[in-house]
Amino acid sequence: MEKMYRCTALFARFVIALFVFASCQQVATEQTRYELLISNAMVVDGTGKAAFAAHVLINGDSIALIDIDTTNTYTANRTINASGLYLTPGFIDTHAHGDPLETPDFSNFLSMGVTTICLGQDGFSPEREDLKEWMQEVDSMELGVNVAMFAGHNTLRMLSGIAYDSIPSAQGMAKMEQLLTDALDAGCFGLTTGLEYNPGYYAQHDELNRLAEIVGKKGGISMSHMRNEDDAYVEASIRELLEQGKYCPVHVSHIKVVYGKGEARANRIMQLLDSARQKGIQVTADFYPYTASYTGIAILFPDWAKKPYDYQEALKTRRQELATFLRNKIILRNGPEATLIGSGPYKGKTLKQIAEELNKPFELALMEDIGPYGADGAYFIMDESLQETFLKDKHVMICSDGSPSMRHPRSFGTFARVLETYVVQKQLLSFEEAIHKMTGLSAATIGLHDRGLVKQGYKADLLLFKPEEVRENATYENPHQEATGFRCVLVNGVVEREGGKAASSGMGRLLLK
């Protein structure tokens, strides 16, 4: 009887052990079953550290595992053999333009490896008092890229009724502060200012500092197209921004020195920013790798010929004064051949060509045939050695300042150009350094806490490519040519582009702070 009992007990233990073993096997099988395996990649993780070989495994929208032991094997629904390819985070464009309700695919950005864009720049955001409502509309779209939103100061001024007033009324200021608070609470990552444009141009320091204080309390950042980027005024513009830096992190949008020359001039600007950092101010900047800017032609006109003033009245009463102003301004900006019209009936032609075609002086062509709101343009006004010095600074990241429709090669070529020109050809940046400037640094600056790195638990916005294959194909003559060389572009764990073609659509999301 005792023997039978022992046998029964032994058998029971055997059954339990068998059950536990089977359960463990089941768990192990489930743990190694992934949706996507990217095998044998050289990972450049976005931190700036050296590349390393690894398998990267993805489940859902996130990186589930990074295994540096490439002898291990895994089971996945799909495997991409990345031997000979680099795996990096998707690029983050800290200063972009476009309307996700009109062009939600943003294919120009995807083609150059951008998986997240920051909209609401230069002080202009959607003209909605309830920005949360607009965000919900965007979130319902099939977005090609992730969108991080900012509230625009110029737009807030108009919505609050302050408009072009230099000193806001108490009521108007309170309304603007509430609109900003609501936008930040809705998920905006911060505020942008466009102080070279109207109505932001009329804002004074006290107004800007009060808004910066709100941004700081909400954990955001203030990005600024500063008041004046000309060589004689740029340092004063930076100091104005640094004043706001006492209240929140601040960021110089598309850093440049118009008319400035040489490495030494750039270093003086960098020293000004470094000095502020030593005093505890968080200040960063972004940069696009072109010597031509792009904006509305109104930037060439005097304040008294732009809104809220009547342009037709200026033409009648101050015609000669306006012609002289424009002539001197254009000559200072490297002449009429250095202004390339990008929209309207004269797009694709320089101001010099237009003047010859119309058989009149270029300032009269600008006054009579284009006007302050008749076109956008590219302006060849920057010095290459100065701008490249900015690029090398460790606090400067990459942006395009481009859009799906803008006639400037930066819209389609920026991030490819950084790799092709500054990493492969000029070797101005190491590959790891360039990737950091386009991913990890940008994410940390904006406040994207689960993107910008190849890291376990982070969102799987990823790129596979060989840097020597990447090509910027856009030119000033043909600016809408997509970049090439990115083998795979993943957005939120799904292959969005493969072999230069769309593989799926609508994987992007509206990101909330």
Smallest Cα–Cα separation from 225: which of 250, 204, 254?
254
How high does pLDDT run on average in the chain?
A: 93
18 pLDDT exceeds 80? no
Find the helix or strand (DSSP H, E) in which 172 lies: helix 170-186
CB 412 within 8 A of CB 479: yes
At 259, the amino acid letter reads: Y
Smallest Cα–Cα separation from 498: which of 465, 470, 454?
465
Distance CA 448, CA 288 (A): 21
What's 135's domain CATH number? 3.20.20.140
What is the per-residue pLDDT for 215? Answer: 98
In this structure, are 288 and 188 located in the same domain?
A: yes
In this structure, are 269 and 416 located in the same domain?
A: yes
Q: Which domain holds residue 269?
A: 89-293+381-489+496-511
Smallest Cα–Cα separation from 508: which of 461, 474, 463, 468?
461
In this structure, are 300 and 230 located in the same domain?
A: no
At 123, the amino acid letter reads: G
Out of 259-263, 271-275, 288-292, 376-380, give the one with best mean pLDDT. 271-275
Q: Look at residues 88, 112, 147 and tell me which one is the last residue of a structural domain.
A: 88
| Residue matched to tokens 């101001």 | 351
Distance CA 180, CA 153 (A): 8
Average pLDDT score over residue span 211-229: 98
SS3 31: helix
What is the per-residue pLDDT for 16? Answer: 41
DSSP code of 493? Answer: T
What pLDDT band is residue 33 in, cutting at 50, 70 and 90?
A: confident
Cα–Cα distances in Å, from 160 out to 238, 400, 471? Answer: 27, 30, 45
In this structure, are 56 and 110 located in the same domain?
A: no
pLDDT per position as a tens digit, 83-122: 999 999 999 999 999 999 999 999 999 999 999 999 999 9
What is the per-residue pLDDT for 15? Answer: 40
What is the per-residue pLDDT for 334? Answer: 87
* Residues found in the chain: 513
pLDDT per position as a tens digit, 175-195: 999 999 999 999 999 999 999
Percent of the chain whose pLDDT exceeds 90: 87
Q: Look at residues 379, 402, 433 and tell me which one is the last residue of a structural domain.
A: 379
Distance CA 448, CA 458 (A): 10
Strand 146-149 relative to strand 91-93, pairing: unpaired
Percent of the chain whose pLDDT exceeds 70: 94
Strand 62-67 relative to strand 52-59, pairing: antiparallel
6 pLDDT exceeds 50? no
In this structure, are 141 and 229 located in the same domain?
A: yes
- Total number of domains in the chain: 3
pTM: 0.88
Smallest Cα–Cα separation from 491: which of 450, 462, 456?
462
Smallest Cα–Cα separation from 292: which of 404, 382, 352?
382
Distance CA 294, CA 254 (A): 11
17 pLDDT exceeds 60? no
In this structure, are 368 and 425 located in the same domain?
A: no
Smallest Cα–Cα separation from 451: which of 435, 439, 437, 463?
439
In this structure, are 333 and 247 located in the same domain?
A: no
Average pLDDT score over residue span 222-246: 97
CB 316 within 8 A of CB 357: no
14 pLDDT exceeds 70? no
pLDDT per position as a tens digit, 417-436: 999 999 999 999 999 999 99
Report CA Rg, the chain.
27
What is the per-residue pLDDT for 500? Answer: 87
384 pLDDT exceeds 60? yes
Distance CA 267, CA 253 (A): 17
Task: Lay out the sheet containing 339-341: strands in order across.
Answer: 292-296, 376-380, 339-341
In this structure, are 253 and 212 located in the same domain?
A: yes
What is the per-residue pLDDT for 31? Answer: 54
Query: 14 vs 389, which has greater pLDDT?
Result: 389
Q: Look at residues 357, 379, 401 and tell me which one is the last residue of a structural domain.
A: 379
What is the per-residue pLDDT for 1? Answer: 43
What is the per-residue pLDDT for 143? Answer: 97
What is the per-residue pLDDT for 76? Answer: 97
443 pLDDT exceeds 70? yes
| Residue matched to tokens 């202004």 | 339
| Side-chain half-sphere CA neighbours of 455 within 13 A | 11
27 pLDDT exceeds 70? no
Encoding tokens for residue 360?
Answer: 């009149």
pLDDT per position as a tens digit, 305-316: 998 999 999 999
Encoding tokens for residue 389?
Answer: 């010095």
378 pLDDT exceeds 70? yes
What's 58's domain CATH number? 2.30.40.10
Out of 19-28, 36-45, 181-190, 342-351, least confident range: 19-28
Task: Spell out a b/e string for 181-211, using b for 16 or more CB atoms within 10 Å of the CB, else e.
Answer: bebbebbbbbbbbbbbbbbbbbbeeebbbbb
What is the per-residue pLDDT for 23? Answer: 40
pLDDT per position as a tens digit, 133-151: 999 999 999 999 999 999 9
In this structure, are 113 and 217 located in the same domain?
A: yes
| DSSP assignments along 273-289, one per residue | HHHHHHTT--EEEEE-S
In this structure, are 415 and 314 located in the same domain?
A: no
In this structure, are 195 and 207 located in the same domain?
A: yes
In this structure, are 132 and 271 located in the same domain?
A: yes
